[in-house]
């Protein structure tokens, strides 16, 4: 699984220069390979540092000397033939845009400069991280005999960065993550603590099921799965991974983002989203949608070419079965179906939740981001995405408000009984 490291492609990946299939594979590899992820973090940090390095104008008098010295090198390039591509990575590329001389540098020199910069960035990174003691999280045994790095724990234990927590078919455990929240680990599950820092707490779920209740501000708690990363935007969810690396996210409160590089699904409470290796997150759907709707959506997301299961195309079934609340799902399909089908998705959405003023058919069909966002806001405010029954979790209000300031995330009321509307907005109850 780890044999094909992607370290050589990371610079191209960061610069968005890889073909899409390669991009996806690199993104997936980064989720599960610590070694490549560290290399990638250094590239990102190097690029960020380079952006913030002050540009100091050198006195004009030094350039002739440098040019002369370069031209005296046996294999120097003639000055009137600029190197075709002397740029190596973002840092040098940026600098070369501003310094005409850099256009004449030999590729080797530019490469060395790039390496030096990476080395500096690496040293800086190490200095940042070395001073921290190796942090750990508290683990409590709930049932059976959970193990940390193969050692059975008593009633409590500590999970340090890099260590695996494993449960067999009769054991369960709870992880307490300080002020961040709690994670319950179900039977037959393998989770690893990847990072815990003020800016990022990250678990890897290799197999099994876990439930998280997070009270930290959004975008601090992450769970890597084999086919996507779950990013907490406030609240509670369950995540499970099967042996094939497929995962299923079910959100009970708040919002969770599932991402794989450029593909992202924002999943509200009451909704679920599946992911598949090689594809990434599918389309989010409300769990109370009809079974036919959910089955057809899964076909559309993950097996679009399977025509055996039904004579009717999956998209037709999804559109036919959609209730007003399911417009959330159709909104994602707008940008995921091809041009020909987009008009049909649009037409069905207009019937269910009309777009706000100024959002036009033409704009939506050419995927105008501003219009899509405005329609999405209307859909979110129309379809109450809170689940029926009582909210299980009382969070800190100011933290919820932070959640609401995230793009695409609206304000959520916490700790109030939600009635028996099954989450449907009153205005839609009669129609669905
Ligand atoms: Zn690797």
Ligand 1 center from residue 224 Cα (angstroms): 15
Ligand 1 center from residue 212 Cα (angstroms): 28
Two tokens at 195?
Answer: 């990072």
* C-alpha span between 182 and 20 (Å, rounded): 36
Two tokens at 174?
Answer: 């709870």
Ligand 1 center from residue 42 Cα (angstroms): 14
Ligand 1 center from residue 183 Cα (angstroms): 27
* C-alpha span between 232 and 239 (Å, rounded): 12
Ligand 1 center from residue 51 Cα (angstroms): 27
Ligand 1 center from residue 24 Cα (angstroms): 14
Ligand 1 center from residue 198 Cα (angstroms): 25
Ligand 1 center from residue 351 Cα (angstroms): 48
Please write the tens of the pLDDT for every residue from 358-368: 999 999 999 99
Ligand 1 center from residue 134 Cα (angstroms): 23
Which residues on adjacent β-strands are paired with residue 350? none
* C-alpha span between 382 and 426 (Å, rounded): 9
Ligand 1 center from residue 166 Cα (angstroms): 23
Ligand 1 center from residue 62 Cα (angstroms): 43
Contacts of 349 (CB under 8 A, 6+ apart): 327, 330, 331, 334, 355, 375
Which residues on adjacent β-strands are paired with residue 238? 211, 250
Ligand 1 center from residue 333 Cα (angstroms): 33
> 399: how many CB neighbours lie within 10 A of its CB?
16
Ligand 1 center from residue 7 Cα (angstroms): 7
pLDDT tens for the 432 residues of the chain, in order: 445 898 888 888 877 788 877 877 788 788 777 788 888 878 877 777 776 665 555 556 666 665 666 666 555 444 443 333 333 333 333 443 444 444 444 555 555 556 566 656 555 554 444 444 578 999 999 999 999 999 999 999 999 999 999 999 999 999 998 788 999 999 999 999 999 988 889 999 999 999 999 988 888 899 999 999 999 987 899 999 999 999 999 999 999 999 887 788 999 999 999 999 988 999 999 999 999 999 999 999 999 888 788 888 999 999 999 999 999 999 999 999 998 899 999 999 999 999 999 999 999 999 999 999 999 999 988 765 433 322 323 333 333 333 333 333 333 333 333 333 333 232 323 333
Ligand 1 center from residue 181 Cα (angstroms): 30
Ligand 1 center from residue 308 Cα (angstroms): 38
Ligand 1 center from residue 336 Cα (angstroms): 29
Ligand 1 center from residue 193 Cα (angstroms): 18
* 166 three-class SS: strand
Ligand 1 center from residue 266 Cα (angstroms): 28
DSSP 181-232: EEEEE-SS-EEEEEEEETTEEEEEEEEEEEEEEE-SPTTSEEEEETTEEEEE
Ligand 1 center from residue 38 Cα (angstroms): 9
Ligand 1 center from residue 263 Cα (angstroms): 21
Ligand 1 center from residue 112 Cα (angstroms): 24
Ligand 1 center from residue 226 Cα (angstroms): 13
Which segments of 226-338 are extended strands (E)?
A: 228-241, 247-260, 263-268, 271-276, 280-281, 285-286
Give ion ligand 1 contacts, CB < 5 A: 5, 33, 35-36
Ligand 1 center from residue 311 Cα (angstroms): 43
Ligand 1 center from residue 246 Cα (angstroms): 20
Ligand 1 center from residue 13 Cα (angstroms): 14
């Amino acid at each position: 699984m780890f044999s094909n490291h992607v370290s050589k492609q990371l610079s191209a990946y960061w610069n968005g220069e890889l073909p899409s299939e390669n991009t996806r594979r690199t993104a997936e590899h980064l989720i599960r390979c610590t070694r490549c992820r560290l290399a990638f973090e250094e590239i990102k940090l190097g690029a960020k540092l380079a952006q913030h390095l002050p540009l100091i104008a050198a006195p004009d008098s030094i350039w002739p000397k440098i040019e002369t010295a370069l031209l005296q090198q046996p294999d120097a390039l003639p000055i009137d033939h600029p190197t075709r591509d002397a740029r190596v990575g973002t840092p040098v590329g940026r600098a070369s845009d501003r310094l005409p001389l850099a256009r004449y540098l030999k590729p080797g020199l530019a490469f060395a400069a790039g390496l030096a910069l990476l080395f500096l960035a690496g040293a800086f990174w190490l200095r940042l991280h070395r001073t921290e003691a190796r942090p750990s999280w508290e683990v409590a045994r709930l049932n059976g005999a959970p193990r940390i790095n193969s050692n059975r724990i008593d009633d409590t234990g500590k999970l340090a960065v890099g260590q695996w927590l494993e449960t067999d078919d009769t054991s369960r455990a709870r992880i307490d993550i300080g002020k961040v929240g709690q994670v319950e680990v179900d039977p037959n599950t393998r989770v690893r603590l990847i990072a815990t820092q003020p800016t990022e707490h990250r678990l890897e779920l290799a197999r099994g099921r876990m439930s998280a209740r997070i009270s930290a501000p959004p975008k601090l708690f992450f769970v890597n799965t084999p086919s996507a990363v779950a990013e907490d935007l406030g609240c509670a969810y369950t995540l499970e991974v099967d042996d094939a690396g497929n995962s299923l996210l079910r959100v009970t409160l708040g919002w969770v983002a599932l991402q794989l590089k450029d593909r992202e699904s924002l999943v509200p409470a009451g909704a679920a989203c599946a992911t598949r290796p090689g594809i990434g997150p599918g389309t989010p759907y409300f769990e109370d949608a009809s079974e036919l709707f959910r089955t057809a959506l899964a076909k559309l997301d993950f097996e679009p070419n399977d025509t055996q299961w039904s004579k009717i195309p999956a998209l037709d079934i999804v559109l036919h079965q959609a209730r007003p609340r399911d417009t959330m799902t159709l909104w994602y399909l707008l940008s995921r179906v091809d041009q020909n089908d987009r008009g049909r998705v649009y037409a069905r959405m207009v019937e269910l939740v009309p777009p706000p003023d100024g959002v036009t058919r033409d704009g939506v069909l050419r995927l105008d981001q501003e219009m899509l966002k405005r329609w999405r806001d209307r859909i979110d405010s129309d379809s109450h995405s809170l689940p029926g029954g009582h909210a299980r979790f009382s969070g800190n209000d100011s933290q919820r408000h932070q959640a609401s300031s995230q793009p695409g995330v609206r304000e959520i009321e916490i700790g109030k009984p939600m009635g028996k509307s099954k989450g449907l907005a009153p205005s839609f109850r009669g129609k669905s």
